[in-house]
Amino acid sequence: MKNSYAVVTGASSGIGEQFARKLAAEGYRLVLAARRRDRLDALAAELSEKGTECVVFAADLSKKEECYRLMGELGSKKVGVFINNAGFGDCGFFLDTDVDKELAMIDLNVKSLHLLTKLVLKKMQAQGGGYLLNVASSAGLTAGGPYMATYYATKSYVASLTRAIAQELKDKGSKVYVGALCPGPVDTEFNEVANVEFSMNGMSAEDCVDYAIAQMKRRKTVIVPSFSVRAATTMGRFIPQNLYVRITGGIQKKKRDM
């Protein structure tokens, strides 16, 4: 691990920050990517004091050229773990929500994640192995989410893409792992950006990441770090999908009404 890097996008807060801390504790060198350089610098300084080599990469990864610039930064570095975490959400009546924010969400949550997934997996395949974890959401395992329509759609894309690629890699006998982390509510800055309040208590980012890393090492393809959320998504498979969407919509609407 001391000779390989863990790359974390969206590393300036929340789940991404916790991944950085946990992977540093496991002995990885780090590449920390996010828009907010000041937060990355503070995290890198803290981890460096504990002996972790950190590379700070400030970038807006919703832009394709910045994704390629990140891959250029990685260059010949051996990447043992890549946490594809950068993303955000929004909540509201679809006819009222801001289209520019939604298109930016699609750029980051879908297009950039897709591009980085392809580029990183090619790199890992060439180097003979590695772990890539796409951060999706339990929202990506449902039929749809009224009042968070675009966010649910982006995370459905991530979950679907990841499961398909995982099977392709297994068919090929590849040593490269790809999985999708699909958490329910997590106590992060997500709410503030998405203009929502969770209708249930969220788990801590630390607990979410601990579970994710353990399941990643077991090469679990879809990782849902909460028994209640696992139960809900499993039960959803047996409920008529139009009913499931109505139930989900009722839950999302309550968030806006809080």
Could you give the residue numbers annotated as active site?
A: 151
Distance CA 53, CA 31 (A): 9
Q: Record the tokens describing residue 78, joined without a space.
A: 């051996």
Distance CA 151, CA 109 (A): 8
Dihedral in degrees, nearest 10, Cα atoms 193, 254, 100, 58: 20
Distance CA 66, CA 211 (A): 30
CA nearest to 9, candidates 125, 121, 155, 116: 116
C-beta of residue 216 within 8 angstroms of C-beta of residue 131: yes
Indicate the SS3 state at residue 161.
helix
